[in-house]
Structures are given as structure tokens and as C-alpha cells.
């Protein structure tokens, strides 16, 4: 069977989110089909900065060693986020102190994985979903101020000048949200802030967003003269907010999913000049974060390979072109 990364070698890198379990349970698939990986959780601040001046690199090191051994690149995910960052990181910090703290954190982690990590999600999900606000309220904004992303990207560029630095977000095709993302990144670029690309997470479902919405969004972001990465692609079988269950997906559902993947990848190929990397948020349906989100313990089947690690209809549709 042809491999994804082979098929797409003239288009973009193909990546998958992994963790310390899946690099074992899905290792054959990862090695055969992908040339980039992202740590699902292991490079998040809460995984590494386990206590004040206490760092645990065990899991991230294990995954990076797997990447080195198998010649895979790594997307770094993520430095600054309102989520999965311990409270003590902010406690008693004024602006100057927090900037110092994040600077030494980025230095420590950025340097440790310098060889293998080719880009970083420097800031994750800073834009608000609700229509009336632009910036999401967070400790970062509270302490550093409205232009905290300027500071963070400048610091990251100083430490990691040779790496591509990304702003990453979800609901990125939503018409109101994408304009806010566009305006924010545009204003940063106009101020000379070193942001190299936008990460479109692409957590989707068979109910959308559809390829035309994706295309409009890619066009909009690309007009900023930056790169785009698809960073967390998966296609849920449930509409967002629907917490119902199914026993096993039937051919009709899997066909709908395959059609979404097919349409998406057609667009991705069209924009290969600006899309450098397309990453799926998992490897195979035997493990996906969507088994616990947004409904706990509700099985989902959002990826290209099934629970037995065999290719699904979606896989065939994206390699047959």
C-alpha cells in the first residue's frame, strides 16, 4: 500500500499527533505514513513545568527520541495558552517577571528540542469565540496586557530565530472569528512582530465546516503573506454539541467522512505553495481525544485509520488523485 507521506511528498509534510502510548501502539502507521509528529500534550507547559523550577521532560524526550530514530520532524505545541498551564506560573507575577519567566521557559524547552522541532505554536487560541470580544480573557492578557502576543513572538524569535513561529487556533473558519484572527495577525505584522504563520486546527465533523469555507479562510489568511499549517485535523462523526452515541459507524457515515477528507485534501493540494504541513490530531481510531471530548467516554472515529489500524475509506479518497 502506498504511504501518505510518499504520495504527498511534492505537496506538504503529513503529520500526526502522538503520545507515549501511540508511539508504541501505532508505531508502524506513524513510521510508514507520516514525516512529522506533534506531541498531543507532552510539550505543553503543564506537562513540562511540573513545579516551580521543576521540569519533567521524560515524556517529551521519549517522543523526540522516537522522532529522531525514525527520521520524523516535530511541530512544537505549545508555549503560551490559557489552558494546560499551571496556576503557579502566574502567581505573584508582574509584567516584567512573567516576561522573564516565559523567556527562560522558551529558552529551556526551545533549546532542548532545537534539532528536531521545525516550528512552534508560540501562542494557542488567544482569540475569543464570542462575537463581541476580540481577545480571550486570560492570565496572559491580565498580566502582560492586550498586546501580549507582540511580546511573546518577539521573545520567541530572539531565542529561536531559525524556527517558523505560528499562531494556532480553532473555529478558524467561523466568519466572525476568522476576521478577528486576520485583523489581529495583520496588526501584529504591521507592527513588525515576527509571526511566520497561522495554524488552522481544523477540528471538523461530517456536518462541516465544508471545503468552500476552508478555502475562503485559507485565502484570507494567505493574503497576509504568511504560511499556513493545518495543525489538528480530524473529522468527527457527530455534530458539535451532540452527545449521542453510536455502536459502530455504518458505511454511510464513513462515506460522508471520506467525502469531507477528500474535499479538504483537494483544497490543501491547491494551496501547496502556502501550506507546508498538514497534521492529523491522532493516528488511528483506536485512540482519539474525541473519545472524551466534548462528551466523556463517547467513542468517536475521526481519523484515517480504523481501530485495527487498517485504512478507512477516507484514506483511499485522499491518496487517489
Interacting residues toward ligand HAH by CB under 6 A: 40, 124, 170, 201, 203, 232, 289
In the complex, the smallest distance separating the C-beta of residue 313 from ligand HAH, rounded to whole angstroms, is 24
Question: Is residue 275 a contact partner of residue 229, using CB atoms and an 8 Å limit?
Answer: yes
3-state secondary structure of 11: coil
Sign of CA dihedral 318, 66, 23, 75: negative
| Cβ neighbours, 10 Å, residue 83 | 11
Instruction: Please identify, using beta-carbon distances, which residue of 181 and 319 lies nearer to ligand HAH.
Output: 181
| Cα 181 from chain centre | 16
Instruction: Please identify, using beta-carbon distances, which residue of 249 and 282 lies nearer to ligand HAH.
Output: 282
In the complex, the smallest distance separating the C-beta of residue 167 from ligand HAH, rounded to whole angstroms, is 12
In the complex, the smallest distance separating the C-beta of residue 201 from ligand HAH, rounded to whole angstroms, is 6
| Cα 240 from chain centre | 18
From 40, 42, 232, 276, the catalytic residue: 232
In the complex, the smallest distance separating the C-beta of residue 319 from ligand HAH, rounded to whole angstroms, is 26
d(CA 98, CA 204): 35
| DSSP conformation letters of 116-133 | TEEEEEEEES-B-SSTT-
CA atoms within 13 A on the CB side of 302: 29
232 an active-site residue? yes
Instruction: Please identify, using beta-carbon distances, which residue of 7 and 139 lies nearer to ligand HAH.
Output: 139
The kind and range of the H/E element at 279 are strand 275-280
From 42, 125, 172, 276, the catalytic residue: 125
In the complex, the smallest distance separating the C-beta of residue 230 from ligand HAH, rounded to whole angstroms, is 13
Instruction: Please identify, using beta-carbon distances, which residue of 99 and 198 lies nearer to ligand HAH.
Output: 198
| Cα 299 from chain centre | 21
62 an active-site residue? no
Instruction: Please identify, using beta-carbon distances, which residue of 166 and 315 lies nearer to ligand HAH.
Output: 166
| Cβ neighbours, 10 Å, residue 9 | 12
| Lookup result for grid cell 507515549 | 20
Instruction: Point out the residues that are catalytic.
Output: 125, 232
Amino acid at each position: 500500500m502506498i504511504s501518505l507521506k510518499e504520495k504527498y511528498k511534492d505537496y506538504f509534510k503529513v503529520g500526526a499527533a502522538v503520545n507515549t502510548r501511540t508511539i508504541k501502539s501505532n508505531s508502524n502507521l506513524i513510521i510508514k505514513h507520516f514525516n512529522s509528529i506533534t506531541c498531543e500534550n507532552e510539550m505543553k507547559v503543564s506537562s513540562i513545568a511540573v513545579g516551580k523550577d521543576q521540569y519533567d521532560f521524560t515524556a517529551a524526550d521519549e517522543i523526540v527520541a522516537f522522532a529522531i530514530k525514525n527520521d520524523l520532524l516535530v511541530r512544537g505545541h505549545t508555549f503560551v495558552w490559557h489552558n494546560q498551564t499551571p496556576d503557579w506560573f502566574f502567581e505573584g507575577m508582574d509584567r516584567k517577571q512573567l516576561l522573564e519567566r516565559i523567556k527562560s521557559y522558551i529558552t529551556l524547552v526551545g533549546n532542548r528540542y532545537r534539532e528536531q522541532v521545525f516550528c512552534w505554536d508560540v501562542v494557542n487560541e488567544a482569540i475569543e469565540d464570542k462575537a463581541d470580544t476580540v481577545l480571550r480573557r486570560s492570565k496572559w492578557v491580565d498580566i502582560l496586557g492586550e498586546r501580549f502576543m507582540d511580546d511573546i513572538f518577539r521573545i520567541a524569535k530572539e531565542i529561536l530565530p531559525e524556527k517558523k513561529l505560528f499562531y494556532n487556533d480553532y473555529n478558524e473558519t467561523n466568519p466572525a472569528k476568522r476576521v478577528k484572527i486576520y485583523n489581529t495577525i495583520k496588526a501584529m505584522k504591521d507592527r513588525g512582530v515576527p509571526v511566520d504563520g497561522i495554524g488552522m486546527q481544523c477540528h471538523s465533523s461530517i456536518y462541516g465546516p465544508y471545503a468552500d469555507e476552508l478555502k475562503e479562510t485559507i485565502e484570507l489568511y494567505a493574503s497576509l503573506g504568511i504560511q499556513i499549517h493545518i495543525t489538528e485535523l480530524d473529522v468527527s462523526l457527530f455534530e458539535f454539541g451532540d452527545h449521542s452515541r453510536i455502536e459502530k459507524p455504518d458505511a454511510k457515515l464513513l462515506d460522508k467522512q471520506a467525502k469531507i477528507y477528500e474535499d479538504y485534501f483537494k483544497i490543501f493540494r491547491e494551496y501547496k505553495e502556502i501550506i507546508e504541513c498538514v497534521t492529523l490530531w491522532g493516528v488511528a481510531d483506536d485512540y482519539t481525544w474525541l473519545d472524551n471530548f466534548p462528551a466523556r467516554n463517547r467513542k468517536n472515529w475521526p481519523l484515517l485509520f480504523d481501530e485495527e489500524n487498517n485504512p478507512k475509506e477516507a484514506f483511499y479518497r485522499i491518496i487517489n488523485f
